[in-house]
C-alpha cells in the first residue's frame, strides 16, 4: 500500500523550513507520496538544469535499459547508463525528503557517442543530488532549487 497525503505533508515540510522544490510532490491528481517506491525500474525521462532542460538523446530515451535505476528495499540500487552498469547504496529520510546516493561499482565501458551526457548525468546523480519527491507523474531527484532528474516507473 502507498500512503498518500496532501496539505498535511506541505504543512509538515513548510513548518520545518524544508525546501520543497517547485512541482515536487504533486502529480496530476495532486497526491503526495511520503516515500518513493522501491523495486521498480525508474527510467530517466527529463533532465532539468537551472536555465533549461538538458536534452536526453532520443536513442537513450527509447532504449529499454539506458538510464534506468532501481532502488531496493535493502538500501541498495542498481542501474544502467548508456554503456555502463552502476551499483551502490542509498539512504533516504522520508521526514525531510533528503537522499544520499553512494556509487560503489561501475563498469568502465567507453561510450564514444554518449560519454559526455553520461558524465554529466553521473556527476549530478552522485555528487549533487540531495533530495527527492515522488508524485503521480514520477520520481524527482533534486540537485538544485530548479534542477532535477525526473524518472518514470517502467
pLDDT at 49 over 60: yes
- Picking from 13-17, 26-30, 46-50, 148-152, which range would have the lowest pLDDT averaged per residue? 13-17
pLDDT at 29 over 70: no
119: alpha, beta or left? (left if phi > 0; alpha if psi -120 to 50): alpha
pLDDT at 45 over 50: yes
Question: What distance in Å separates the CA atoms of residue 138 and residue 71, rounded to the nearest whole number?
Answer: 14
pLDDT band of 35, cuts 50, 70, 90: low
Summarize the confidence of residues 7-31 as an average pLDDT: 37
Amino acid at each position: 500500500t502507498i500512503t498518500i497525503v496532501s496539505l498535511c505533508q506541505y504543512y509538515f515540510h513548510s513548518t520545518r523550513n524544508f525546501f520543497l522544490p517547485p512541482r515536487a510532490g504533486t502529480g496530476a491528481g495532486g497526491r503526495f507520496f511520503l516515500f518513493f517506491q522501491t523495486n521498480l525500474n525508474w527510467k530517466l525521462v527529463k533532465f532539468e538544469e537551472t536555465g533549461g532542460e538538458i536534452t536526453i538523446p532520443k536513442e537513450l530515451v527509447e532504449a529499454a535499459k539506458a538510464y534506468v535505476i532501481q532502488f531496493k528495499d535493502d538500501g541498495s540500487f542498481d542501474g544502467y547508463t548508456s554503456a555502463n552498469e552502476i551499483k551502490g547504496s542509498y539512504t533516504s529520510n522520508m521526514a525531510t525528503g533528503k537522499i544520499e546516493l553512494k556509487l560503489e561499482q561501475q563498469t568502465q565501458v567507453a561510450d564514444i557517442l554518449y560519454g559526455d551526457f553520461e558524465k554529466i548525468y553521473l556527476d549530478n546523480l552522485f555528487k549533487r543530488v540531495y533530495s527527492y519527491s515522488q508524485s503521480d507523474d514520477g520520481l524527482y531527484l533534486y540537485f538544485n532549487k530548479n534542477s532535477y532528474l525526473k524518472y518514470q516507473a517502467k
